[in-house]
Amino acid sequence: MSSKSKSSRGAYKCLTGSIICLLLTQLMLAGSPICPSAHAQGRTSQIQNYQLPNLLKNRAQTTSTQHAPDEFKPDKLTAIIELPNVPNYTGHAVFVSGLKYPRDRSGVRIGMTIGVREDENEVLEWYKSALKTYGWMVISANPNDKYVSAAKDKNTFTVRISPSKQPGFRTLVVLSYKFGI
């Protein structure tokens, strides 16, 4: 049996189980003789009067930076900024986006995304070599996951690489810099 048919059969069973649960709940709420236990135990009024909490209301407050404490409010970057002791990429790099968190209690954080024409492995190897040249200790590097993390003094720097779907770039590079306190 193919994995596709197993997956389809599993999805069908899950859907069938969901429908049965919904039907049984409806029968309980309607006081059906098929499911008399809800009436016998006086639970119907409890179920009918129960109101679900408004989870979306709380979620909107926590994901919006409008109501976030000043510590978490970012400043939007409009261009590549120079990072201390981090070499600028020598290939053709174009700024895509960036944020700076200047009020973070654990230290200022900067994140930037740049688009480059070179392929992922070439960019990753360039950053590994350049960081070592600038005195950074490479903490972890994984060519399969396309990232490299490094530390120098109390600062940390991470580079994440991914293929670009934007025209004009082969690779997107996410640079994350955290100043230590």
Q: What is the pLDDT of residues 9-46, one digit of tens each?
A: 444 444 444 444 444 445 444 454 444 444 444 444 44
Question: Domain for residue 58, yes or no?
Answer: no
163/110 same-domain check: yes
Stretch (H or E) spanning 175: strand 171-178
Residues in the chain, pLDDT under 50: 2-25, 27-30, 32-48, 50-64
33 and 87 fall within a common domain: no
Whether 158 and 106 map to the same domain: the answer is: yes
- 171/165 Cα distance (integer angstroms): 8
Residue 142's DSSP bridge partners are 147
Whether pTM > 0.85 for this model: the answer is no
Q: Which residues contact 75 (CB under 8 A, 6 or more apart)?
A: 99, 100, 101, 102
> How many domains does the structure of the chain reveal?
2
Main-chain phi, psi angles of 80, to 5 degrees? -65, 135
Residues 104 and 172 in one domain: yes
* Model pLDDT, residue 72: 77
Domain that includes residue 109, residue range: 70-178
**Does residue 34 sit in the same domain as residue 83?**
no
Let me know if 177 is exposed, middle or buried by CB neighbors in 10 A (0-12, 13-18, 19+).
buried
Domain presence at residue 59:
no
112 lies in the same domain as 25: no
92 plus 37 within the same structural domain: no
Beta bridge partners of 47: none
